[in-house]
Chains A and B, each alone.
Chain A
């Protein structure tokens, strides 16, 4: 019974895992505000991050255009820190 229930929990988690998505957290490491262009679910929008601010973005994955023109794609769940126009993704 115990094994059965733990199996059930595992199965449930496995089923839910793709549905439960965690957003990516993006941090602006500079003191100046940062403007990011984000395309999520086929809709483009601009997000302004104040200096040293961290924000949760991209629940379902998104395209991110950095100020230096580099493009970054997030699948959600990453931790991104941007400083000097460069992004470091963990």
Chain B
């Protein structure tokens, strides 16, 4: 009987270890180059030995055709050999490169007719060429060895597949297995076990009773100390207070994690330490040591599973439960989980004992049958655990009906398979169900944790979130968004870790998984287009780096160079915007080519589409080009007051498509750039802000026109903002209907003050004309008043406070008045 699943997990752990070791070896190999070069003969011997070893592995394969475990370790050995061959090859390559450099320094051999070179030189060249050929030969041998190893690895995989198939399809006769030979075998093994333990114990006790007592005492003492210390240190920390109202999922998960981990580690530490005390004093006999090790490993795993189940189902502290099920169901599920753990661990321990005490087919068959049926029964029982949601309770539960159906069905299928005699299949399936189930549940918890972090303000409430806010000046919203990002990353991580592990337990090879992963990130082919995730990511990162660089360059250019250079604001804006466009275009091009897209292909596509785009995006393109022209020509710049499209306002900024203008009543006017290019634009302050204001004023016909003229000029000259050059002047404009009409013209350095200056001028005119008795007339009209029959009764009109607050409409209507 083989143990595929456990073997595969071992294989995984082994491969990870190998990867780490290989990584270290690479560093060491790079350090060892000098050493290797000084002793090429040693290297040659090493290479020859490695090649011999690889060739010899075929014998190991032939002798272990039926031994699954040996095949697995042989395959792992071969992978290591391949890596070693590569490392040797790297060193040799370096040597070839050195030899070639020296050959180049010697120059080519003299041709026919040329004078012969010194003998020493010729000899060295020959020696170097021989050395080069020899090393090339060595590399060739290494290459052949890796191919040989590769073929052997494929053979092993094929053989394991065959073995696996044989195990799954083999049918055992159950009634025969439960015949008298079973009881004989069990009895024999039991007696064997009793005899071994008895003889060991009586011998040890007789010869060294004091040492045994000391060991037992120190183990117990160590246990007591471990319990005491752990209770004192983190006992309070992992305590789950049943009075606590409603801990968040994240808090529950954190406590659950430590609740599982810390006591387990303490227990493992105690087990290991106790074993080594006995081991150190030579109490164990080799066969007893094997039995004890098995027992200890079983206990260690059992404790872990039970602790994990207590953390997840929390049968006694419902408020700390990690998955949402009612009290009774949680208790039952926890109990069943413990039973399942005991079955699985007991199966593994008994199987191991069986190997130590001598393999017996009937015992193995019976054990497989019992285990499969027991696991199936527990699965059915777990599926049968109902979740009664009482009215008013939350309908959502983590124990949905479909999961229960899956459990029951797999349990039934398992028992049926076992009863029909397909014990290999049943055993394999039960192991896979348990292991895959465990991994899936862990992934589910990870996924829930990710979702919990992603919930609104979940991260901000944790101490980590508080630290972020306090130390790194994150805003509350920033922490919240960081939580969202962390949540997404965590989900990805859960799948990236979980899925390969499941694939490994289902028999995929590590190299297949890494190959697939590698291909996924570097080369996804869709038809004739090949996309590389790494390339896309690089492109994206490059784009953002380019964007950031452009911004930094813009800031530097604008704030340092242009400002100190005394360039005016409008020109600075134009230059900054133009640099921004150029930077973005450059970053986009870089990103596209880094992402692996062929720019010539893009050009081809652009050419094909340009006609359609030309028609479809005519307006946008025209606006964009107009924007570029506006930036280059600068008929106006930010801050200018312009009249365009029937509106007047201050230019805010010139964008890609349109220009934003703030009108005087603070409405933002978005005017397409093409209109500004094609239409008439009046710029009040183009080139200069100089402007003229006019104040018309009329005076009584009796007034002294000359005096009025002089007074107006005097007023203009007295105003500090009115320029004396060009000087203000007064026009006697008209003999009006009821007045002599004058107009005062005055020039201002900045027309932006026009309204204020006009107001101030009028104030002054009124004030001084009154003082000088110059009257400003108004049109006079005759008004005929008709006496009404009866005036409306206004007495009933209520006082102001009786009206109260004015009711407003809820409808938002905006109308330009």
Contacts and interface: CB of A to CB of B under 8 A. Distances in A.
A72 B86 CA distance: 10
Interface string A29-56: 0000000000101111000000000001
16 contacts: A17-B23, A18-B19, A18-B24, A19-B19, A42-B153, A43-B147, A43-B150, A61-B86, A63-B139, A63-B146, A70-B96, A71-B93, A71-B143, A73-B90, A73-B93, A73-B142
Given A73-B90, A75-B26, A41 B151 contact: no
B131 to A, nearest CB: 13
A44 B147 contact: yes
Given A65-B143, A73-B142, 9 more contacts: A1-B464, A41-B150, A42-B147, A42-B150, A70-B136, A71-B140, A73-B90, A74-B90, A75-B26
B93 A41 contact: no
B185 interface: no
A89 B83 CA distance: 20
Interface string A53-90: 00010011111010001111111000000000010010
A71 B139 contact: yes
B150 A63 contact: no
A63 B26 contact: no
Contact of B136 (A59, A69, A75): A69
Contacts of A19: 16, 19, 23, 514
A52 to B, nearest CB: 14
B264 interface: no
Contacts of B151: 42
Contact of A73 (B92, B100, B132): B92
A39 B143 contact: yes
B243 to A, nearest CB: 29
Interface in B133-151: 136, 139-140, 142-143, 146-151
B89 interface: yes
Which 9 pairs from chain A and chain B are nearest by CB?
Answer: A42-B150, A18-B23, A73-B89, A71-B139, A63-B143, A61-B86, A18-B19, A73-B93, A42-B146
Contacts of A60: 511, 514
A19 to B, nearest CB: 5
Contact of A72 (B93, B511, B515): B93
A61 B92 CA distance: 14
A4 to B, nearest CB: 11
B85 to A, nearest CB: 9
Contacts of B136: 69-71
Contacts of B83: 61
B518 A41 contact: no
B11 to A, nearest CB: 15
Contact of B467 (A1, A44, A62, A63): A1
- Name which of A17, A59, A73 has the most chain B CB atoms within 10 A of its CB: A73
Contacts of B139: 63, 71, 73
A28 interface: no
Contacts of B143: 39, 63, 65, 71
Interface in B102-158: 132, 136, 139-140, 142-143, 146-151, 153
Given A63-B142, A69-B136, A71-B143, A89 B82 contact: no
A76 B92 CA distance: 15
- Name which of A18, A56, A89 has the most chain B CB atoms within 10 A of its CB: A18
A50 to B, nearest CB: 13
Contacts of A44: 147
Contacts of B147: 39, 42-44
A63 B638 CA distance: 64
Contacts of B643: none
Interface residues of A, number: 28
Contact of B149 (A17, A18, A42, A89): A42
B522 A23 contact: yes
Interface of A: 1-2, 15, 17-19, 23, 39, 41-44, 56, 59-63, 65, 69-75, 86, 89
Interface size bracket, B side:
35 or more
Nearest to B521: A20
Interface string B508-523: 0001001100100010
A71 B88 CA distance: 13
B522 A56 contact: yes
B97 interface: yes
Contacts of B89: 63, 71, 73
Contacts of A63: 86, 89, 139, 142-143, 146
Nearest to A72: B93
Contacts of B19: 18-19
Contacts of A56: 522
Interface string B1-39: 000000000000000100110111010000000000000
A89 B97 contact: yes
B69 interface: no
B675 interface: no
B93 A89 contact: yes
B476 interface: no
B86 A73 contact: yes
A70 B131 CA distance: 12
Nearest to A5: B464
Interface in B51-102: 82-83, 86-90, 92-93, 96-97, 100
Contacts of A74: 90, 93
A41 to B, nearest CB: 6
Contacts of A1: 464, 467
B546 to A, nearest CB: 22
A21 B652 CA distance: 52
A11 to B, nearest CB: 12
B86 A41 contact: no
A70 B137 CA distance: 9
Contacts of A15: 20
A12 to B, nearest CB: 11
Contacts of A2: 471
Contact of B82 (A23, A41, A65, A69): A41
Contacts of B16: 19
Nearest to A61: B86
B593 to A, nearest CB: 13
B129 to A, nearest CB: 12
A23 B518 CA distance: 10
Contacts of B26: 18, 75
A80 B365 CA distance: 58
A42 B147 CA distance: 4
Given A19-B19, A56-B522, A89-B93, A75 B87 contact: yes
A80 to B, nearest CB: 10
Contacts of B100: 70, 86
A42 B136 CA distance: 18
A74 B153 CA distance: 22
A75 B146 CA distance: 14
A86 B101 CA distance: 11
Nearest to B532: A56
Nearest to B471: A2
Contacts of B86: 61-63, 73, 75
A36 to B, nearest CB: 13
A75 B90 CA distance: 7
Contacts of B93: 71-74, 89
Contacts of A43: 147, 150
Contacts of A59: 515, 518
A61 B387 CA distance: 55
Contacts of A39: 143, 146-147
Nearest to B518: A59
A27 to B, nearest CB: 16
A43 B149 CA distance: 10
A54 to B, nearest CB: 12
